[in-house]
Chain A
């Protein structure tokens, strides 16, 4: 059913980076001292890194999400879309400088890649969540989805 929606309805997506924020339970500011608005840049992703077939067909091609800053470093995800479906997802950039980062990512990133495919087979339009490394992954995945629809 979802396929039908993508086939018949174009999607425009726009992204900006705003709002450093905390929740009442956080002890550490999420922004970790970064000034607002620096880091990744997107103001409008209507021209994705790799041109898409117009959204009316659901898009095909390879789309790279913007690099999302996490406290451990940048995370960037690339997806391959064929016929409106994500057929592959890879983290093309992830934190790997310290031993700790490697430990985090050696387990998390490959599984995340797999999960993106599983999630996409269930067809997701967007993502919600709260953890750090995957927040970066999620942000970048969202922006790759954005680019695919751009």
Chain B
């Protein structure tokens, strides 16, 4: 499935301000461009070509070069727990690209004055409020042990929030026969100044397991595990 991306703007003149529509269009234009370059499900994307060893480095789009460098940095900063090169099917930066692209798309809203916004790409959220008096955005974090429950309701003003968890397996709830987990965690939600690194550390912490709260706070100052679900 594709990821659903929701953009919410909050402000007094949001219905009538003529600057809103082009800014919103620019945000989604940015995301579409990123999708065209990075999707592993588009055979014509640059990442697909790289996975087939068909695209030499000197033909990479500047965004691809940037993302590969960020992937290397992320692998290093996470002690190898985030590693886009060790995935089935070969190099796959998707785990970083979603947060990176979402975060870089949001500045297209900067030309608007007086609005709060959030951009939510499949649960990875970048948010901004424009004054200290503006209310925080309230984010319900799903509880993977009980699809009926939320683990936490977090307030996000300006920064990033990302959740990594049992997405592809879903085994804990729906299929006990395949419920084999490499870590003792079911989901990890990380918040911090940027969505990119919140996303990277949520993914890495989920893969690592153990005392991830301390691990994230040591490796990523300014970031914290804001919600955590452990396997029973």
Contact = CB atoms under 8 A, between A and B. Distances in A.
Interface of A: 1-2, 4-5, 8-32, 34-37, 39-40, 42, 54-56, 66, 68-72, 100, 104, 108, 111-112, 114-115, 118-119, 122-135, 137-139, 142-143, 145-146, 149
A1 B35 contact: no
Contacts, number: 276
Contact of B3 (A5, A19, A71, A118): A19
A19 B9 contact: no
Contacts of B147: 108, 111-112, 131, 133-134, 137
Interface in B154-168: 161-168
A97 to B, nearest CB: 14
B98 interface: yes
Contact of A129 (B7, B89, B141, B174): B141
A16 B142 contact: no
Contacts of A36: 2, 35, 39, 41-42
Given A24-B82, A26-B167, A19 B2 contact: yes
Contact of B28 (A14, A31, A71): A14
A17 B5 contact: yes
B34 to A, nearest CB: 8
Interface of B: 1-15, 20, 24, 27-28, 31-32, 34-35, 39-42, 81-84, 86-89, 92, 94-95, 97-98, 101, 116, 118, 120-125, 134-135, 137-144, 146-150, 153, 161-170, 172-175, 182-183, 187, 189, 203-204, 206-207
Nearest to A55: B15
Given A5-B135, A25-B206, A128-B125, A108 B1 contact: no
A20 B1 contact: yes
A19 B97 contact: yes
A1 B149 CA distance: 23
Contacts of B15: 10, 12, 54-56
Contacts of B87: 22, 24
Given A20-B94, A131-B147, 14 more contacts: A10-B12, A18-B31, A18-B32, A22-B168, A23-B95, A24-B204, A27-B168, A126-B138, A126-B140, A129-B123, A129-B143, A131-B165, A131-B167, A142-B6
B150 to A, nearest CB: 5
Nearest to B13: A10
B163 A128 contact: yes
Nearest to B75: A24
A127 B142 contact: yes
A15 B169 CA distance: 26
